[in-house]
Each structure stands twice: as structure tokens, then as C-alpha cells.
Amino acid sequence: MRILTAGLLTETNTFSPIPAGWPAFGRTPIQRGAQSPFASTWEFAALVDWRERAERDGHTVVESLAAVAEPAGRVVRSVYESLRDEILRDVTNALPLDVILLYLHGAMAAEGYDDCDGDILCRCRELVGPDVIVGAEVDLHGNLSEEMVAAASVIVAYKEYPHTDMVERGADLYRLCVGAVSGNIKPVMAMRDCRMVGIWPTTNPAMRALVDEAYENERDGILSVSLMHGFPWADVPGCGAKALAISDGSQKAAEKTARRFAQRFWEIRDAAHIESVAMDEGVELALTAADGPIVLADVSDNAGGGAPGDATFLLRGLLGRGATNVVAGTYYDPIAVELCAEAGPGATLDLRIGGKLGPASGAPLDLRVTVRSIVEDHSQTAMDRSAPVALGRSAWVSVDGIDLALASIRSQVFSPDAFTGLGIPLENARLIVLKSTHHFWAGFSAIAKHAIYVSPPGALQLDFKNIAYRKRDPNYWPRVNVAP
Ligand SMILES: [Zn+2]
């Protein structure tokens, strides 16, 4: 069997001011199988697993490129087209193929393209014709489109949020695609729009039960069930939650299952939704909590959702309250890190922190800080523990009982070592303030009593009724409350 693998992914926040160009795709070096075997970076773990499985099974593997960018605004058009066309060239050169395995996100948009994933899948299908199995693994935060479902043979999404099952779902996709070529199964897909926009952590009991139900239903002719949560901060027509089912040979069975899971997802939409409070209320709750540490998640400035990562609204609020025993980070501020490195550990200096990337960042904070440490090539553990996530040269500075982690690479906080790796102790912290929506919980649940989600001004507003969509139609929950 001849299998081609490729990865091209980012999550596009169309409201973000940060363009995704070559530097964004170069931060994790673009890997090209023909020249260099994929290194095991956490983003590409599923691709590495596909290669290993295929080699074990005696298949021929052709590796096209693997490219990933930290979520940001729309991908620069020429960059997207160049990366896409390289994959398409590799497909053409590798023919004849039996299987194409694509590692995508599902919510990538570029200038001129609202649905990059649909575009890639359609063009691959055009090149290989109707008989080749084209499979895609996607993030459950992908905005699944009809074009994607029509062009692909098999689509499998992560089931877990935090995403701890990227490799496992990749293995599901591999099994289904190889099984389809062998003639053991005949995957048939059906998608159902849930007409909902929101955030649903699978650590929530109601959502957990639904995900378990999805696993349990993958039998008796149902090959796969994916609950696509969608990515809310994407003004594209396909934005929102969908249910996707794959049956073995029966369109009717796939449709029935997709309809049932869309209905089940709809039923728990409110109970399973992420709970957030206003910033001031969240600060008050966190500071008056009887025991700690409490995690205060700055959802609005989650770089993992395309936000700048240097917003100061929450820190300003904490400083104003005179809060102490607080650890906060990571602030994306390479200029501040450079100044700290110049001054050196032990130095006290006037430092301008954050507020640099645009209105979503708020105003910069001018603080007199003490530099506690500088770490070159700092990193943190990924949520699935597969490999480190780079934070670049980073600094620990302290100011008035608050310890801050400043980084040179824009990233959400996944794990406690984002702080402890700089030497910042967490044992005595009353409050851990971090920039992330929910992925952090995989790493922090062991040390934090609980998490409070706040949504200060910023790029990822949790007020889903009022997201300024122009392309996504307004017929969605929580704007309207009509079952799909
Ligand atoms: Zn995601």
C-alpha cells in the first residue's frame, strides 16, 4: 500500500490583529520528509505515529511537508498557497497512491480563503480521483464544512478537550483508511450542524458523559463518532458545532447517528458550557477563596486561540487590588525579556510590560521590577506530554508580591513548568493567573484547587451572543434557542 502523509495546520482567529506569515510557520521548523525525518515535536506526534505504524505494517510511506503556526489571524495568502501547492506537488509526484493522511486543524482561514481545510481536501481529491482514500485528522475546534466532508473519505476529530488524544485519534484515522483500502470496511460519513457556538471542556461532567457515549457507540457498524465543537472566533460560514458520524457502508446509519449526537450535544449545550465570570468578580472570588492555589484563566488573551498574549487588563486589576502571592504569565514580550537579560538577574529596573500588539492588549504597564532569572530556550510540557512547547528566551521578574513570567515566543500556558522552569515556586502561590482557555487544566489540575475563567477585554470574548460575525449567519445558540 502506498501512503502519503502531510500536515498543515493553524487555528485562525479572524478577529486577531496578528498575521500568520512565514515566520509564524517557521517557529516550529517546517519538516519535509524527503529531506529530514519528522522530528517528534508535539504538534507532529500524530504524523510520526502514522509513519511508524505504516512502516510496521509494511507499507510505503511518502512524507510531504508538516507545517504548523501558533494560532493567529488569517494566514497570508501567498504563504498558504505556497504550502498547499507544495503538498499538492508531492501528491502528484507520489502517484499512484492508495491513501492520503492529512493532519489538519479544521479552522484554518487565509486571506481569500474561509475554509483552507476544505480547499486542501478538494484539491487532493481532484488530483487522485474518487477511488483513493483521503483521510483527515482534525482538532475538535475545527469548523467542519460540507466541502470537507464531501471531499474526504474519512475525518476523525480529537475527542478530548484538553486535547490529550491527538495520537490516539490519528491511530483511529489510520486504521479506518487502511481498512478501507483493504476492503475490510466501507466508511460512509454524515455531518449534522448543531447550530451552536461555544466552548465545551470535556472535563465538564455532562460533556464527559457525551464523549464517553461517543466512544461507546463506535461499534455495531458505526466506525467513528466525532463531536466538533467548532472555533467561535472565526467569522466564516461554517463556524460552529457539528456532529460527524462514520458508518460501515450505510449512509442511513451514519445520518441517524450524526443526528442523534447533534441532538444530544444540543441538549447539554448549557449545562456543559464553560462557566465564566466578569473580570472583577473573578478577581474578587479568587482573592477571597478560602484555600488555594486558584487558577484564574485569562481566556480573552489565550495565544492558543490567536490572541496577542500580552494583554494587561487582568494584571492591572490585580496590581490595583494590591494582590500578593500571585504568579502570572506568560506575557509575550520579547522586548521586555531582552531588557531583563541586558540588566541581568538581581537587577531592579523600570520595565514596560505588555500592551504592545494592539487594542486587544490594553495599555502597557510601567513597573519597577526585579529580575529573578533569565532562561535561554525556555519551554513547557505540552498538554498531552508528548514533547516540549518552546517559549524562547524567558524572564522571571517580580513586582510587589507578584511573580511574572515573560516569554519571547507567543504561547498559551499548558503546564506548571512554564513557571517552575524559570525558578518561580508555585507552592506558596495563592493565585496562578494564566493565559489559556482550558488546555491548562491537564497540567494544573494536580496542584490547583479549582479554576475561575474570566473574560477581560481581548481577542477571545466569551460573550458568544455578540461576536461581530458578518459571514456566519446569526441563527445559532446562544443567539437563538431553536433546536437543529
Ligand atoms: Zn483545539
In a domain, residue 481? The reply is no
What CA–CA distance (Å, rounded) separates 64 from 94? 9
Q: Are residues 246 and 381 in the same domain?
A: no
* Number of structural domains in the chain: 2
In the beta sheet, which residues pair with residue 137? 103, 156
| Separation of CA 167 and ligand 1 centre (Å) | 14
Q: Are residues 360 and 428 in the same domain?
A: yes
| Separation of CA 287 and ligand 1 centre (Å) | 30
Residue 452 contacts residue 285 (beta carbons within 8 Å): yes
In a domain, residue 153? The reply is yes
In a domain, residue 290? The reply is yes
| Separation of CA 94 and ligand 1 centre (Å) | 31
In a domain, residue 441? The reply is yes
Q: Are residues 249 and 206 in the same domain?
A: yes
| Separation of CA 190 and ligand 1 centre (Å) | 22
| Separation of CA 95 and ligand 1 centre (Å) | 32
| Separation of CA 370 and ligand 1 centre (Å) | 36
Q: Are residues 290 and 174 in the same domain?
A: no
Q: Are residues 244 and 376 in the same domain?
A: no
| Separation of CA 139 and ligand 1 centre (Å) | 5
Residue 64 contacts residue 86 (beta carbons within 8 Å): yes
pLDDT of 387 > 80? The answer is no
| Separation of CA 142 and ligand 1 centre (Å) | 7
| Separation of CA 290 and ligand 1 centre (Å) | 33
In a domain, residue 84? The reply is yes
Domain that holds residue 146: 2-267
Q: Are residues 196 and 323 in the same domain?
A: no
Residue 27: per-residue pLDDT: 85
Find the angle CA(16)-CA(21)-CA(27) to the nearest 5 degrees.
Answer: 100
Contacts (Cβ under 8 Å, ≥6 apart) of 109: 12, 14, 74, 75, 115, 116, 234, 236
| Separation of CA 367 and ligand 1 centre (Å) | 34
Q: Are residues 310 and 441 in the same domain?
A: yes
| Separation of CA 438 and ligand 1 centre (Å) | 10
pLDDT of 36 > 70? The answer is no
Residue 373: per-residue pLDDT: 98
The residue with greater pLDDT, 377 or 459, is: 377
- Local confidence band at 292 (pLDDT 50, 70, 90 cut-offs): confident
Contacts (Cβ under 8 Å, ≥6 apart) of 386: 40, 42, 45, 166, 167
Q: Are residues 263 and 180 in the same domain?
A: yes
| Separation of CA 323 and ligand 1 centre (Å) | 32
| Separation of CA 164 and ligand 1 centre (Å) | 10
Q: Are residues 335 and 432 in the same domain?
A: yes
| Separation of CA 141 and ligand 1 centre (Å) | 5
- Local confidence band at 92 (pLDDT 50, 70, 90 cut-offs): very high
In a domain, residue 181? The reply is yes
| Separation of CA 433 and ligand 1 centre (Å) | 21
Kindly state the average pLDDT of the residues 391-402: 97
- Local confidence band at 35 (pLDDT 50, 70, 90 cut-offs): very low
In a domain, residue 476? The reply is no
In a domain, residue 477? The reply is no
| Separation of CA 163 and ligand 1 centre (Å) | 7
| Separation of CA 474 and ligand 1 centre (Å) | 23
- Output the nine-digit C-alpha cell for 434: 494564566
The alpha carbons of the chain give a radius of gyration, in whole angstroms, of: 22
Residue 252 contacts residue 225 (beta carbons within 8 Å): no
The residue with greater pLDDT, 351 or 484, is: 351
| Separation of CA 174 and ligand 1 centre (Å) | 20
pLDDT of 190-202, one tens digit each? 999 999 999 999 9
User: How high does pLDDT run on average in the chain?
Assistant: 94
| Separation of CA 162 and ligand 1 centre (Å) | 8
Q: Are residues 233 and 288 in the same domain?
A: no
pLDDT of 51 > 80? The answer is yes
Q: Are residues 54 and 178 in the same domain?
A: yes
What CA–CA distance (Å, rounded) separates 72 from 360? 13
pLDDT of 117-168, one tens digit each? 999 999 999 999 999 999 999 999 999 999 999 999 999 999 999 999 999 9
In the beta sheet, which residues pair with residue 113? 110
Q: Are residues 104 and 176 in the same domain?
A: yes
pLDDT of 429 > 80? The answer is yes
pLDDT of 248-275, one tens digit each? 999 999 999 999 999 999 999 999 999 8
- Output the nine-digit C-alpha cell for 110: 487565509
What CA–CA distance (Å, rounded) separates 414 from 411? 9
